[in-house]
Amino acid sequence: MASGIRRVTLKTIAEMTGLSLSTVSLSLRGGTTLKQETRDKVNEAAKALGYVPDRAGVRLRTGKTNVIALVLDGSEDSIDFARNMIQGIGHAITGTRYHLTVIPEFERHNSTETINYILSNRTADGVIITHTGPRDPRVQMMIDADFPFVSHGRTEFYTPHAYHDFHSEEFAGLAVKRLAAKGCKDVLLVIGDDSTTNYHNIVTSFRKEAARAGVEARVLEGTAKLSPAEMRRVGMDLAADPHRPDGIISDSEMRTIALVGGLTEGGVTLGREVQLIYKQTSGILPTLFPKMDSIREDVFAAGGELTRLLLKRIDGTPIKELQTLAEPQPHWRSG
Amino acid sequence: MASGIRRVTLKTIAEMTGLSLSTVSLSLRGGTTLKQETRDKVNEAAKALGYVPDRAGVRLRTGKTNVIALVLDGSEDSIDFARNMIQGIGHAITGTRYHLTVIPEFERHNSTETINYILSNRTADGVIITHTGPRDPRVQMMIDADFPFVSHGRTEFYTPHAYHDFHSEEFAGLAVKRLAAKGCKDVLLVIGDDSTTNYHNIVTSFRKEAARAGVEARVLEGTAKLSPAEMRRVGMDLAADPHRPDGIISDSEMRTIALVGGLTEGGVTLGREVQLIYKQTSGILPTLFPKMDSIREDVFAAGGELTRLLLKRIDGTPIKELQTLAEPQPHWRSG
DNA sequence: CACATGTGATGCAACGTTGCAAATGTATTT
DNA sequence: AAATACATTTGCAACGTTGCATCACATGTG
């Protein structure tokens, strides 16, 4: 821990170049009033010494933390969601001065305390939240505080805010059309977490598209609280049901796995008696079910996009330019 | 963003109580030379105002960042590893002043730059690394710098350091014994990442236990570089192999899924012709393969333990007391 | 009464940075 | 030659915290 040599600060550079502290500081921040010669000298010295501005100093003086905070939802629906999201963010901040702090949530959506903490202690320059609800209180808080944030998911608030979202309506539309094209007459949507805006978008679009395609539309709600074992049970019950649907759309990887397990154990051959399309976010499901149709959401890319939007938001870009959707990527495997 | 009211600092408390800044600071840090009455007054005021020490101020003055850094390996072997680990860490730091920053890695094990950055910029008080190798250069760097860290995984360095590790030897032993008890005569160990200490521990223990149990021991190495599709192919080839093993031990969830997929497609009924035991770290596999034996590693708990060890290390606890192993938890499902 | 001993509280400098106000130096104008 | 303009550089204070050295005051000692 005793590294002997002292830290390289502005002072070090000042001493080395014979310039004043202020000049060095100004120069490093690109002061245009300085002589080119001076600026070169400073840059050289800084590079030679490997100068990196002290985060605490900057933060104390300017209030800028150079930190972005990810509030990590505890949801298990999407496999490896955390890793992909974090890698996406990490990729987008390499080369910037930003660090990423992650605040995991345990219970679902109780995170107003977390937001409150960040807001009142100015512990980050911006926040990324996921699994956003239509009237998400976290969003409300940050809008009220005029604090930079971006949500993975849209809301119903009147005041606009930065977001990046999966185009769920498109997802539902694509899935329904695909199933209809395969001859399905009776389609079931298996969907979880109804506290999410996503949920509403999918259900609404699902019903509309099903009506248009002339197929029966059923929705299996409240599956968010089910354990994998219970979900598996649902699959078995479905398999045994004489009125079972001939097409299924599943919006979560975890539930897909359990459901398919149950259906298969119940004697259903997927792709024959029953068609299934699932939302895919990790690489595992395609390995598991190589012949099954899926529609992909790229969480890594989402992390990157969220970060880019947030950094722009922090830098003052108007909010209208900070609202983007990710197109679903269909992966049709069979006929 | 304009919150109007000024931040609560020591000064605020000083003004409120009529005491000096120094006294307030001293009192809050538990100065025993102060009158009890004074200390009470300060504590009251601090609580009333909701005082939280400014991180930048503390950090600038003391050098303490109150940050721990997790270097997140890009490996996909263990499903939801990142979320579980982060939640474990998050749980262990609630109530402390520590924040967690996460630094994702993209390529495998190139993270000496990351460590170097943390070391030279003192950007955290301690580091957690995972997927540790026997002569992990990151460990070497931090030992040399006498910087607080804890590794998820042991090493072969002479100088001791803090670690928490899964008891891989025990894992291999349990698995072999179980397979032997089920009548297996020819056991295959499917294992990845040979850059990891874990790898060596498992292979060694596997061979030893197999010899003791009198069963044939084969090792399928180099599977770390295989894609899920290729791994699936391995499963199919195994199924078709006339000399195929009658027992398989798999150390990774991703590979287990692909392998089982391939074996099943190849016509093998697991649990009958071939026995399989896998290492389980997420909740998914038991759902997928409810009848299959597994041995669990609790990554959430590991995150918590790593954190506790690290915080103790930072506070100066001797290293001998900071080396722990996690017992494998067998989940035998059938006979 | 002068002095030492405690007890309790405080002043001050420093950590590294930034931005304003001011100073210095050089060139141009009257 | 003095005044003005401009170009370039710098001193200083402040952000919030801590810890050392010091101080004010009361009590006890010779």
Residues 6+ apart with CB under 8 A from B217: B176, B187, B189, B206, B207, B210, B211
Contact of A87 with chain B, judged by CB distance below 8 Å, is answered with: yes
Supply the pLDDT for residue A2: 43
Per-residue flag: B9 CB under 7 A of strand D: yes
Other C-beta atoms lying within 10 Å of the C-beta of residue B320: 8
Enumerate the nucleotides of strand D whose atoms come under 7 Å of any protein CB: 7-12, 14-21
Over residues A292-321, the mean pLDDT reads 96
Task: State which H helix or E strand residue B93 sits in.
Answer: helix B81-93
In order along chain B (335 residues), what is the average pLDDT of each group of 10 residues?
A: 70 92 93 88 93 96 97 91 97 96 81 92 96 94 96 96 97 95 93 85 93 92 83 92 93 91 89 92 87 95 98 96 96 79
Structure letter (DSSP) for residue B19:
-
- Is the distance from CB of B266 to CB of B239 less than 8 angstroms? yes
How far apart are alpha carbons A52 and B102 in whole angstroms? 20
Per-residue flag: B33 CB under 7 A of strand C: yes
pLDDT exceeding 70 applies to what percent of chain A? 97
To test the contact with chain A by mutation, choose from B52, B287, B331, B333 the residue with the greatest count of A C-beta atoms within 10 A, namely B287
Per-residue flag: B273 CB under 7 A of strand D: no
Q: Chain-wide mean pLDDT for chain A?
A: 92
The protein residue nearest C12 (Cα–C1') is B22
To test the contact with chain B by mutation, choose from A59, A71, A80 the residue with the greatest count of B C-beta atoms within 10 A, namely A80
Task: Give the nearest nucleotide to B56, CA to C1'.
Answer: D16
- Chain A nearest C-alpha distance from B82 (Å): 5
User: Distance from residue B66 (CA) to nucleotide C14 (C1'), in Å?
Assistant: 20
Range from A55-64, A122-131, A229-238, B319-328 carrying the lowest mean pLDDT? A229-238
Per-residue flag: B49 CB under 7 A of strand C: no
**CB contact (8 A) between residue A287 and residue B83:** no
How far apart are alpha carbons B52 and B93 in whole angstroms? 16
Supply the pLDDT for residue B2: 42
Break chain B down into helix, strand, coil percent, rounded to 5.
45, 15, 35
DSSP β-ladder status, A275-280 and A323-326: unpaired
Question: How would residue A3 be classed by pLDDT, with cut points 50, 70 and 90?
Answer: very low
Supply the pLDDT for residue B271: 86
- Is the distance from CB of B277 to CB of B175 less than 8 angstroms? yes
pLDDT 10s digits, A103-162: 999 876 567 899 999 999 999 999 999 999 999 999 999 999 999 999 999 999 999 999
Where does residue B193 rank: exposed (0-12), middle (13-18), buried (19+ CB within 10 A)?
A: buried
- Three-state DSSP class for A279? strand
Question: How would residue A4 be classed by pLDDT, with cut points 50, 70 and 90?
Answer: low
Region of B271 (left: φ > 0; alpha: ψ -120 to 50; beta: rest) is left
Question: How would residue A335 be classed by pLDDT, with cut points 50, 70 and 90?
Answer: low
Over residues A51-80, the mean pLDDT reads 95
How far apart are alpha carbons A232 and A238 in whole angstroms? 10
Break chain A down into helix, strand, coil percent, rounded to 5.
45, 15, 35
| pLDDT above 60 for A176 | yes
Per-residue flag: B28 CB under 7 A of strand D: yes
Contact pairs from chain A to chain B, CB under 8 Å? 148
User: Distance from residue B324 (CA) to nucleotide C30 (C1'), in Å?
Assistant: 86
Contact of B258 with chain A, judged by CB distance below 8 Å, is answered with: yes
Q: Tell me the sheet residues that pair with A101.
A: A69, B101
Per-residue flag: A34 CB under 7 A of strand C: no
Residues 6+ apart with CB under 8 A from A234: A190, A220, A223, A226, A258, A259, A262
Q: Chain A residue closest to B4 (CA)?
A: A145
Contact of A121 with chain B, judged by CB distance below 8 Å, is answered with: yes
Report CA A159 to chain centroid distance, whole Å.
21
How far apart are alpha carbons B224 and B75 in whole angstroms? 9
- Chain B nearest C-alpha distance from A36 (Å): 29
Per CB-CB distance under 8 Å, the chain B contacts of A57 are 60
Per-residue flag: B29 CB under 7 A of strand D: yes
DSSP string, A70-115: EEE----SSTTHHHHHHHHHHHHHTTSS-EEEEEE-SSTT-THHHH
Contact of A104 with chain B, judged by CB distance below 8 Å, is answered with: yes
Contact of A122 with chain B, judged by CB distance below 8 Å, is answered with: yes
How far apart are alpha carbons B17 and B48 in whole angstroms? 12
Of the candidates B232, B66, B175, B250, the one whose C-alpha atom is nearest the C-alpha of residue A285 is B232
**Of B4 and A40, more confident:** A40
Contact of B104 with chain A, judged by CB distance below 8 Å, is answered with: yes
Enumerate the nucleotides of strand C whose atoms come under 7 Å of any protein CB: 7-12, 14-21
Over residues A41-66, the mean pLDDT reads 95
N- to C-terminal Cα separation, chain A:
64
Of the candidates A94, A99, A12, A23, the one whose C-alpha atom is nearest the C-alpha of residue A47 is A12
Tokens standing for residue B300: 């959430």
Per CB-CB distance under 8 Å, the chain A contacts of B76 are 80, 83, 283
**CB contact (8 A) between residue B1 and residue A145:** yes
Name the A residues in 277-296 with CB < 8 Å from any B CB. 283-284, 286-288, 290
- Is the distance from CB of B46 to CB of B17 less than 8 angstroms? no
Of the candidates B189, B210, B216, B211, the one whose C-alpha atom is nearest the C-alpha of residue B200 is B189
Q: Tell me the sheet residues that pair with A206.
A: none
Other C-beta atoms lying within 10 Å of the C-beta of residue A268: 21
How far apart are alpha carbons A100 and A70 in whole angstroms? 7
Residue B147's identity, in one-letter code, is: F
Supply the pLDDT for residue B110: 63
Going from the C-alpha of B43 to that of each of A216, B27, B54, B57, B96, the distances in angstroms are 65, 8, 17, 20, 18
pLDDT 10s digits, A8-26: 999 999 999 999 999 999 9
The protein residue nearest D6 (Cα–C1') is A33
**Of A83 and A4, more confident:** A83
Q: Chain A residue closest to B233 (CA)?
A: A287
Q: Chain A residue closest to B83 (CA)?
A: A82
Q: Chain B residue closest to A57 (CA)?
A: B60
Contact of B52 with chain A, judged by CB distance below 8 Å, is answered with: yes
